[in-house]
Amino acid sequence: MHRVASPRSSQRHWRGSALLELVAVVPILALLAGLSVEFGRVLYTYNTITKAVRSATRHLALTDSSNASSAAWTQARQEACQLALFGTLAGGSTPLLTGLTSSMVQIDTSGRLVSTVYGNSSSGCGTNCGISWVRVTISGYRYTPLLGSVLPASVLQGGQLALEPIRLTMRGWPFATATPTFASTSTSCAALI
């Protein structure tokens, strides 16, 4: 004689299978969700640094170093540092990103390419003019992930992910070759603010 399973026992069996499947799938889904959030945080961090570098470089590129006094040029470099660190010209006390310091920001205004193509430029420097370039670099920033214990140790160094240096170079104002060389500097923002 064959014994026929009661509806109650098959229903219990079905519930047990569903529970086992749920227990097997939930950790995988949680890991995928966590990795998605972590990836989004890394992109946000990279984008924030990129925008800070772009703002600081643009500020320097728009400063007329050929007509500015030494004090005005120093102020423009300080403002560029504050843009890179705090996101405002006035500065602040809280950096754009946790762990971002002034020693990570490098301001380089030492590039001068002598040329005569700007002889009729509005800067009024005659036929002996040139162009300059400015560069801002943020290097040494280390991203701290929320899921540090899940990521492989080969990716993380000391629980942090080292980001590549982010730099931008822009052409600055035309200058006269007789312009004093006070603008020719390369320094860390730690020395400026």
Task: Compute φ and ψ for 138, nearest 5 degrees.
Answer: -115, 120
> Taking 50 as the threshold, does the pLDDT of residue 180 lie above it?
no
Lowest pLDDT segment from 12-16, 40-44, 89-93, 184-188: 12-16
Task: Give 40-96 pLDDT, tens digit per residue.
Answer: 999 999 999 999 999 999 998 888 766 667 788 788 889 999 999 999 998 888 999
d(CA 132, CA 110): 8
Q: Where are the domains positioned within the chain?
A: 7-191
3-state secondary structure of 16: helix
Global confidence as pTM: 0.75
d(CA 51, CA 90): 17
Residue 34 confidence class, pLDDT cut points 50, 70, 90: confident
Q: How many CA atoms lie within 13 A of 189 on its CB side?
A: 27
CA distances from 55 to 48, 88, 124, 186 (A): 11, 9, 27, 18
Are 94 and 126 in contact by the 8 Å Cβ rule? The answer is: no
Which parts of the chain fold into alpha helices (H)? Answer: 7-61, 70-86
The gap from C-alpha 32 to its chain's centroid, in whole angstroms, comes to 25
Q: What is residue 151's DSSP assignment?
A: S
d(CA 44, CA 124): 43
CA distances from 81 to 77, 119, 138 (A): 6, 32, 10
